[in-house]
């Protein structure tokens, strides 16, 4: 007798828990060939609101951790991803329509990227901060501090490497994140959320919403308690990107503008994704007291 398929409906990841969408909606996720893979929750505005609340709650604790400890935790994510490699390879292969070898390479790159960013946690301060020479008897010290809650729209095409490449830089410097996954290819993000739940990342530091940027976007962009927004995932949709930028202006969010086309994620990422979600604090202190 043929075994009945287990047709999964994946959930969201908010505040360290896996809730269903508040709206109750889910949508069908097909693989690159149009064959059914699973159902994913369709995040609503209230899920976005709950995710921001969870991210805000997690922020002070996460930002107060030592850079060294954040590095350990991000490295731990990479370790746990390595443990679940077959699942990631399968998800990437089917979602993105790649060969097994290509998918393996993508997973390699994603894990390496996490390790690379983990290394930056206790080094970024030295690179972008420092002692400034001033014309007076003062020490003048600049240090970078995390911006706060960052709303990220993950790339639509690169469902795993792209996701990791936009989330890791934001959290490694001490921000908390609400990420809306690729709409067509959410399953690697779901598996990534399952990794997060088992890898020492405090609940609320990364919140994963599966669904459409057009649905969650306006609410996150206009949300007064979101401090920065990364529009990478709305690349190619100039109208949506423009309206989200306008909504973001209300509380002067830091905006990372949408590129005209999705970048090549296999290239060296540079540090600007980290510096874009850092604020520089400068302290003047009298010399000789």
Partner 1 sequence: MTTTPTTTASASSAAGNSFSDVTSSESALRRFLHGLPGVDQVGAEARAASLGTRSIKTTAKDYAIDLAIRMVDLTTLEGQDTHGKVRALANKAMRPDPADPTCPQTAAVCVYPDMVAVAKETLGTSGVNVAAVATAFPSGRAALDIKLADTRDAVEAGADEIDMVIDRGAFLSGRYLEVYDEIVAVKEACGPAHLKVIFETGELQTYDNVRRASWLAMMAGGHFIKTSTGKVQPAATLPVTMIMLEAVRDFREATGQMIGVKPAGGIRTSKDAIKYLVMVNEVAGPDWLDPDWFRFGASTLLNDLLMQRTKMTTGRYSGPDYFTLD
Residues that bind partner 1 (CB under 8 A): 49, 52, 56, 219, 222-226, 247, 250
Of 109, 123, 127, nearest in space to 164 by CA: 109
Q: How far is the CB of 140 from partner 1 (least distance, A)?
A: 28
Pick 59 or 192: Cβ nearer partner 1: 59
Select 149 or 161, whichever has its Cβ closest to partner 1: 149
Of 7 and 281, CB closest to partner 1 = 281
Tell me how far CA of residue 49 lies from CA of 10, 60, 221, 240, in angstroms: 20, 18, 11, 20
Q: Smallest distance from the beta carbon of 44 to partner 1, in angstroms?
A: 13
CB of 224 to partner 1, least distance (A): 5
Q: Which is nearer to partner 1, 73 or 240 (CB)?
A: 240
The token pair at 32 is 């690159």
| Minimum distance from residue 67 beta carbon to partner 1 (Å) | 25
Nearer to partner 1, 29 or 51 (CB): 51
Three-state DSSP at 240 gives: helix
Task: Check residue 249 and report its DSSP letter.
Answer: G
CA end-to-end span of the chain, whole Å? 84
Please spell the DSSP secondary structure of 50-102, one letter per residue.
HHHHHHHHHHHHHHHS-HHHHHHHHHHHHHHHHHTHHHHHHHHHHHHT--HHH
C-alpha dihedral sign at 104, 194, 187, 35:
positive
CB 42 → partner 1: shortest distance, Å?
19
């Amino acid at each position: 007798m043929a075994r009945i398929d287990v047709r999964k409906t994946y959930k969201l990841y908010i505040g360290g828990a896996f809730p269903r969408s508040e709206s109750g909606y889910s949508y069908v996720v097909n693989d690159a060939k149009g064959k059914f893979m699973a159902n994913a929750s369709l995040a609503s505005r209230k899920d976005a609101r709950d995710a921001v609340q969870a991210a805000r709650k997690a922020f002070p604790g996460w930002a107060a951790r030592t850079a060294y400890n954040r590095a350990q935790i991000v490295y731990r994510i990479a370790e746990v991803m390595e443990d679940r490699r077959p699942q990631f390879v399968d998800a990437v292969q089917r979602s993105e329509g790649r060969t097994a070898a290509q998918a393996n390479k993508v997973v390699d790159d994603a894990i390496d990227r996490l390790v690379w960013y983990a290394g930056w946690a206790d080094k970024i301060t030295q690179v972008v901060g420092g002692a400034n020479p001033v014309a007076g008897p003062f020490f003048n010290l600049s240090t970078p501090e995390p911006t706060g809650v960052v709303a990220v729209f993950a790339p639509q095409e690169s469902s795993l490497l792209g996701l990791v490449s936009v989330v890791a830089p934001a959290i490694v410097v001490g921000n908390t994140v609400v990420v809306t996954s690729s709409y067509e290819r959410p399953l690697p993000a779901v598996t990534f959320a399952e990794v997060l739940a088992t890898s020492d990342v405090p609940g609320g530091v990364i919140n994963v919403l599966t669904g459409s940027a057009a649905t969650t976007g306006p609410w996150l962009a206009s949300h007064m308690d979101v401090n920065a927004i990364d529009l990478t995932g709305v690349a190619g949709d100039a109208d949506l990107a423009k309206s989200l930028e306008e909504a973001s202006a209300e509380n002067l969010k830091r905006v990372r503008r949408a590129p005209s086309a999705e970048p090549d994620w296999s290239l060296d990422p540079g540090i600007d994704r980290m510096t874009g979600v850092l604020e520089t604090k400068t302290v003047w202190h009298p010399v000789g007291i």
